[in-house]
């Protein structure tokens, strides 16, 4: 009888135990060295290292970072460019992914056309440079 009571108590305790949520405490540890590219626009200077973007606001002297924890989804950044016409930062990756960062909340739009194109060899998908035509 004691075994049955112990099993029932353990069963009840197992279902009433609550998990702890530490996701709000996560921090990204990224490389801020080896700058790959720099762009200027919207009164900010943007810089990209291998896996993080950061921007320096020239009017407020504020430094902000944008990482995969914050919304980026690529692995190795190869180039960036700022479009004055669209008020957006364009990020190119080694695997062909392109992301467009826009708005004050840094909304990220992923463009996967090159990344998912099967007729392009993976070794040729790297984004080397952006050129805005009649921007």
What pLDDT is attached to residue 81? 97
* Burial class of residue 7, CB neighbours in 10 A (0-12, 13-18, 19+): exposed
What pLDDT is attached to residue 35? 93
Q: What is the pTM of this model?
A: 0.77
Catalogue all structural domains in the chain, each as residue range(s) with its CATH number. 30-124 (2.40.10.500)
Picking from 73, 75, 72, the residue whose alpha carbon sits closest to that of residue 46 is 72
Helix (H) or strand (E) holding 40: strand 37-41
| pLDDT tens for each residue of 18-59 | 666 665 666 777 777 889 999 999 999 999 998 899 999 999
pLDDT exceeding 70 applies to what percent of the chain?
A: 88
Give the pLDDT band of residue 10 (cuts 50, 70, 90): confident
CB atoms within 10 A of CB 84: 11
| pLDDT tens for each residue of 75-99 | 899 999 999 999 999 999 999 999 9
């Amino acid at each position: 009888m004691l075994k049955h009571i112990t099993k029932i108590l353990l069963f009840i305790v197992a279902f009433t135990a609550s998990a702890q949520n530490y996701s709000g405490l996560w921090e990204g540890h990224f490389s801020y060295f080896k700058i790959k590219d720099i762009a200027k626009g919207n009164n900010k200077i943007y810089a990209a290292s291998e896996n993080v973007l950061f921007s320096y606001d020239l009017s407020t002297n504020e430094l902000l970072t944008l990482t995969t924890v914050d919304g980026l989804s690529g692995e190795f950044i190869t180039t960036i460019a700022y479009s004055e016409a669209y008020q957006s930062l364009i990020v190119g990756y080694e695997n062909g992914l392109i992301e467009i960062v826009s708005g004050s909340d840094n909304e990220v739009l992923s463009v996967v056309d090159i990344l998912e194109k099967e007729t392009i060899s993976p070794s040729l998908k790297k984004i080397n440079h952006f050129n805005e035509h009649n921007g």
